[in-house]
């Protein structure tokens, strides 16, 4: 919802402040309208992304992993048993200006891959999470 609010703010502020330059039509109307439309090119994708993007929550339990995926319009729960997982791996995410981060990814037998929602600062922490998942599957 924060991303949606930011998108609305990015659109709303220029419209509120610059609308007087657009209406009634005058010689400067195209200039102010261009600024408002430019704000919409940033605000509308933020609103759409905030409303349709998935938020994942992983629950690791003995013998299974549940991934709950939610957005404002839908919710679904995926349950994976040991037979459903083909590989548990640590994935490195390269960063341009800071240290690289790491996450854990589950590859299923059907060919889909699910990345953990949390990015970890070191490979050691990511390996610990991957080991925790492997231990849960051995129980």
Residues 15-50: pLDDT tens digits? 999 988 888 888 989 999 999 999 999 999 999 998
Interval 66-112: pLDDT, tens: 999 998 888 999 999 888 888 999 999 998 888 999 999 999 999 99
Query: What's the pLDDT score for residue 123?
Result: 92
Angle at CA of residue 112, ends 106 and 45, nearest 5°: 100
Specify the higher pLDDT residue, 139 or 8.
Answer: 8
Q: Is 111 left (phi over 0), alpha (psi -120 to 50) or beta?
A: left
Specify the higher pLDDT residue, 44 or 116.
Answer: 44
Q: What is 55-138's CATH number, 3.30.70, 1.10.10, 1.10.357, 2.30.29?
A: 2.30.29
Query: What's the pLDDT score for residue 32?
Result: 93
Cα distance between residue 113 and residue 124, in whole Å: 21
Angle between helices 29-52 and 2-22 (to 10 degrees): 170
Query: What's the pLDDT score for residue 55?
Result: 86
Reduce the secondary structure of 51-104 to three states and give it as a string: HHCCEEEEEEECCEEEEEEEECCEEEEEEECHHHEEEEEEEEECCCCCCCEEEE
Query: What's the pLDDT score for residue 134?
Result: 87
At 118 the three-state DSSP class reads coil
């Amino acid at each position: 919802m924060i991303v949606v609010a930011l998108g609305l703010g990015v659109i709303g502020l220029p419209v509120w402040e610059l609308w007087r330059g657009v209406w009634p039509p005058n010689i400067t109307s195209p200039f102010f309208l261009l600024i408002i439309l430019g704000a919409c090119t940033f605000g509308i994708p933020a609103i759409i992304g905030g409303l349709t993007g998935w938020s994942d929550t992983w629950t690791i339990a003995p013998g299974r992993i549940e991934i709950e995926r939610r957005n404002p319009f839908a919710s679904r729960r995926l349950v994976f048993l040991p037979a459903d997982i083909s590989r548990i791996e640590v994935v490195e995410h390269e960063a341009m200006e800071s240290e690289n981060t790491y996450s854990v990814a589950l590859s299923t037998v059907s060919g889909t891959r699910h990345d953990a929602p949390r990015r970890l600062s070191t490979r050691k922490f990511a390996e610990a999470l991957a080991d925790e998942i492997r231990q849960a599957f051995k129980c």
